[in-house]
Chain A
Amino acid sequence: MISARNKTRLLKTLLICVGLVPFLLLLLATLNDQLGANAIQTLHFSLGDWALRFLMIGLALTPIKIITQQAWPLRYRRILGLLAFFYASLHVLVYVALDLSWSWAAFVDEVPKSPYILVGLLTYLILVPLAMTSTKAMQKRLARRWLTLHKLVYVAALTACLHYLWLVKLDISQPLIYLGLWLVLISIRVYRLKTG
């Protein structure tokens, strides 16, 4: 028999492995030149998609806990948050390194002209301190303030949705689905707070 603690550890490892599958597939596609006509954009958008997906799954854990009345979902919040941060970091890296080719001039030209990039940048700037303070040690050190700080993830998820919504040319169905999901996940929390 595996102990409960070992079981959680195993599931966490499994979650990390599964979470890295999209990255490995994208890496393979990049190396094999299978990203299509606009390779950088395909890579950039896919990484952004995965960052948003993991952010949303992470946000869904507390509602799942509320609904199922079980504590286990909360154990996976850190991993999901860090997976989201991992994909968001690669998303930003692809933009700066490949799309802008590290050109400061291009950055200065493009970013102010694109409200959606500004919102995306803001999202990432929110995620950085959250990832930095994700360790158990930091959690202890910051004590109560840690919880307050990490509430910022709701804001980051919202700005991530707006970032997506703002860049789309015409068909806004995808970003609206994410935005709707965000609303539902937040509503469950708010409802819980009100009813105690």
Chain B
Amino acid sequence: MKPTIHTQSNALRAEITDKAVFESRRAFIKSTAMLSAGLMLPSLGQAQAELNDKLTITAREHVTHYTNYYEFSTNKQDATELAKPLITKPWRVEVSGEIEKPGLYHLDDILKANAIEERIYRFRCVEAWSMVVPWLGFPLGEMLARFKPTSRAKFVEFTTLYNPEIMIAQRSTILDWPYVEGLRMDEAMHPLTILATGMYGEDLPNQNGAPLRLIVPWKYGFKSIKAIVKIHFRETLPDTAWHKSAPSEYGFYANVNPEVSHPRWSQSRERVLGASIFTPKRATELFNGYGQQVASLYTGMDLTRSI
């Protein structure tokens, strides 16, 4: 069975640069959905309405002013300003390791080869808050396949840009810079996993990980590494940044799981960003609600141990 992907449109990059068009399309989708729901038609529109109800998009303003970008600051509001000097054009990605086609790839060329689509995903941070973001990007797996991984490629490791001149918090030692994240090969190839280049119909703002970031919707947000400059295919488990910093608190898998608490706080509920102060927290779902699509990746694994 092909997994259901929460995709509302397959748009070319050229079509989605206009924010007004994007907004009106959203309004159209919403109104038709409400209309068909109102008529009680068991149609696609109703399914869409349910989906919209489940995934209420967070205001862009909140997503751009609440970021964990420790390369710039540990304060979530600061990266918005501090990340402005980062130059994201031109951008190159070094692809290496257990593949047949290693090389230094220009982001422009990568983008030419991969059609951009919109994915509306819930993003759940390990700090027990969540937001819903319309990302623009392309499936990571389709791109990785083109590099022809060899049979020895078991994991993919991603590295963030290291540039302490601009990324001023890299001058401190709060984390072992540069930031490294990784996925098991099957997780990386999963159709839900994307590389994002934009959100809300526009290019990614710098503080949200421009020009290229990972989005793995069923894992805690720290897996979704920003400003990627290296993709390395390897046979052994990558040593990832947060795991190195506190192994008992941040595992390699970091699958969203309400049953497995962080050693210092519960993960059973999450604060929805942008909600009114009287809105109760929502119950966190196993695999962040994407279990139907991804649970099979972890068959036979003890999720309470492989955190």
Tell me the A residues contacting B by CB distance below 8 Å. Answer: 30, 35-41, 43, 98-99, 101, 103, 106, 109-110, 113-116, 166-167, 169-171
Tell me the B residues contacting A by CB distance below 8 Å. Answer: 58, 62-63, 65-66, 70, 74, 76-77, 127, 129, 131, 174-175, 245, 261, 264-266, 268-269, 271, 273-274, 276-278, 280-281
Which of B66, B175, B266 is A37 in contact with, Cβ under 8 Å?
B66
Residue with the greatest number of chain B CB neighbours at <10 A, chosen from A37, A98, A167? A37
Which of B63, B76, B273, B281 is A106 in contact with, Cβ under 8 Å?
B281
In the bound complex, do residue A36 and residue B265 qualify as a contact, i.e. CB atoms below 8 Å apart? Answer: no
Q: Once bound together, how far apart are the Cα atoms of A30 and B277, in whole Å?
A: 9
Residue with the greatest number of chain B CB neighbours at <10 A, chosen from A30, A101, A116, A170? A170
Chain B residues with CB under 8 A of A169 = 74, 127
Chain A residues with CB under 8 A of B281 = 99, 101, 106
Chain A residues with CB under 8 A of B76 = 37
Chain A residues with CB under 8 A of B58 = 37
Expressed in whole angstroms, the minimum distance between the Cβ of A148 and any Cβ of chain B is: 34
Chain A residues with CB under 8 A of B273 = 37-38
Given A36-B62, A37-B65, A101-B280, check contact A115 B264 (CB 8 Å): yes
Q: Once bound together, how far apart are the Cα atoms of A36 and B127, in whole Å?
A: 16
Q: Once bound together, how far apart are the Cα atoms of A39 and B65, in whole Å?
A: 12
Which of B77, B174, B266 is A170 in contact with, Cβ under 8 Å?
B174
Q: Can you spell out 11 A-B residue pairs with CB atoms less than 8 angstroms apart?
A: A36-B77, A37-B63, A39-B277, A41-B129, A98-B277, A98-B278, A106-B281, A109-B269, A113-B265, A169-B127, A171-B74
Which of A30, A43, A113 is B266 in contact with, Cβ under 8 Å?
A113
Given A170-B174, A170-B175, A171-B74, check contact A114 B265 (CB 8 Å): yes
Would you call the interface of chain B mostly helix, strand, loop, or mixed? loop
Q: Once bound together, how far apart are the Cα atoms of A114 and B271, in whole Å?
A: 16
Chain B residues with CB under 8 A of A30 = 277
Expressed in whole angstroms, the minimum distance between the Cβ of B179 and any Cβ of chain A is: 12
Which of A36, A43, A110, A116 is B66 in contact with, Cβ under 8 Å?
A36
In the bound complex, do residue A41 and residue B271 qualify as a contact, i.e. CB atoms below 8 Å apart? Answer: yes
Closest 8 CB pairs of A and B: A37-B62, A37-B66, A101-B280, A171-B74, A37-B273, A113-B266, A110-B266, A113-B261
Chain A residues with CB under 8 A of B274 = 37
Smallest Cβ-Cβ distance to A33: which chain B residue: B276
Given A170-B70, A170-B74, check contact A40 B277 (CB 8 Å): yes
Expressed in whole angstroms, the minimum distance between the Cβ of B285 and any Cβ of chain A is: 16
Smallest Cβ-Cβ distance to B269: which chain A residue: A106
Chain B residues with CB under 8 A of A115 = 264
Q: Knowing that A37-B131, A41-B129, A170-B70 are A-B contacts, what are 19 other residue pairs whose CB atoms are under 8 Å apart, sorted by A's residue number?
A: A36-B66, A37-B66, A37-B273, A38-B271, A38-B273, A40-B271, A98-B278, A106-B281, A109-B269, A110-B269, A113-B266, A114-B266, A116-B265, A167-B264, A169-B74, A170-B74, A170-B174, A170-B175, A170-B245
Chain A residues with CB under 8 A of B174 = 170-171
Q: Once bound together, how far apart are the Cα atoms of A116 and B262, in whole Å?
A: 13
